[in-house]
Amino acid sequence: MLKLAIASLLLFVLIHNIKIENIQSALKHANFAFISLAGLLIIPNLIIQTLKWHYLLKLCKPNATHFEAAKSLLAGFTLGFITPGRIGEFGRAIFVKDCNRLQVLGLTMVDKLFSISIVFLMGTIALFLFWGVKLRSELIGLWLAIALAALFLVASLVLFPDRLRNILDKIKLRLPFKEKSDLLLSGLDNFRRRQAVRLLGLNFIFYIIFMTQFYFLLSAFETIQWIDGYLVVASTTVAKSLLPISFGDLGIRETAAIYFVSQIGVQASTAFNASIFMFLINIVLPSSIGFSLLMTEKMNHHFNRKCSQ
């Protein structure tokens, strides 16, 4: 409820500052061809997410199907939509049969870790390019150090996944319920450099699709150079990832987008409308599909219980 209240307050303040008539005018003159292109990109977006989740899922269930992975992923979208910080995405195990739920939880953590690594790496580079010319020389050094740290993190995940496992094993020794901790990390038993490279590659492809969606939506309301557009999107994405304090990132994503587009002379209404459409396409739409799957599963479970009585 607190995060929903924060999102509502942020949206109210943004709409008040931008003026509702400016938002409506931007919508009225929008290029819906670009909006349609962004909407169509949800298809490869979900396909890539399903492929990388299926690839991970096979580490604990070799006979896992793509359909099972897709159902699990969409269920996670729904649960993430209604829970703080999208923590509900760890509920993907609901649609995974014959695999310990703690193992699936551990694999979900790996999936999120690789995703956020790409976001931080690309976002840090974008922020440096975006602000580099405006920073004093001593701050450029600091920013380069942050960028190198992000690059080191990604390289470590790809080149030395065994070290990641060793670090997690050391953490595990300090945790209670050692048996459950073992299960949580058991999905990484067969996780090697080849798997890490492939998973990182799939995450990179997804990230490019995501940025292209956002760029199309910005372009639907105002003409933007593609380099500026991609820098804005990457900067916005990493900024909102640092502040998971609102419902579905509503308000945070819009605020970040408005700030960054203002640096390249683009109107606030453009960033606001593009961000809202991103929320509808990439969060509300797949969450709705996942909700219907959850309801179907619940009805089937209820029906099977009645038949067995």
Q: Is residue 19 part of a domain?
A: no
Render pLDDT for 8-17 as a digit per residue (tens, 0 to 9).
777 777 887 8
CA distance 155 to 136: 28
Residue 61: the pLDDT is 86
Q: Is residue 25 part of a domain?
A: no
Q: Is residue 245 part of a domain?
A: yes
Q: Which of 286, 227, 221 is nearest to 258 (CA)?
A: 221
Residue 82: the pLDDT is 65
Render pLDDT for 248-304 as a digit per residue (tens, 0 to 9).
566 677 788 888 888 888 898 998 899 999 989 998 898 888 888 878 777 766 556
Q: Is residue 125 part of a domain?
A: yes
- Across 38-158, the runs of DSSP E, i.e. the strands, are none
Q: Is residue 273 part of a domain?
A: yes
Q: How many structural domains compose the chain?
A: 1
Residue 37: the pLDDT is 96
- Which residues, given as ranges, of the chain have pLDDT below 50? 135-136
Residue 171: the pLDDT is 62
Q: Is residue 67 part of a domain?
A: yes
Give the burial class of 26: count Cβ atoms within 10 A of its Cβ; 0-12 exposed, 13-18 middle, 19 or more buried.
buried
Q: Which of 212, 203, 210, 278 is nearest to 51 (CA)?
A: 203
Q: Is residue 27 part of a domain?
A: no
Residue 176: the pLDDT is 62
Q: Is residue 21 part of a domain?
A: no
Token output for 212: 């292209």
DSSP 212-258: HHHHHHHHHHS---HHHHHHHHHHHHHHHHT---SGGGTTHHHHHHH
Give the burial class of 277: count Cβ atoms within 10 A of its Cβ; 0-12 exposed, 13-18 middle, 19 or more buried.
buried
User: Where in the sequence is the domain holding 264, given as residue range(s)?
Assistant: 2-10+35-308
Residue 196: the pLDDT is 83
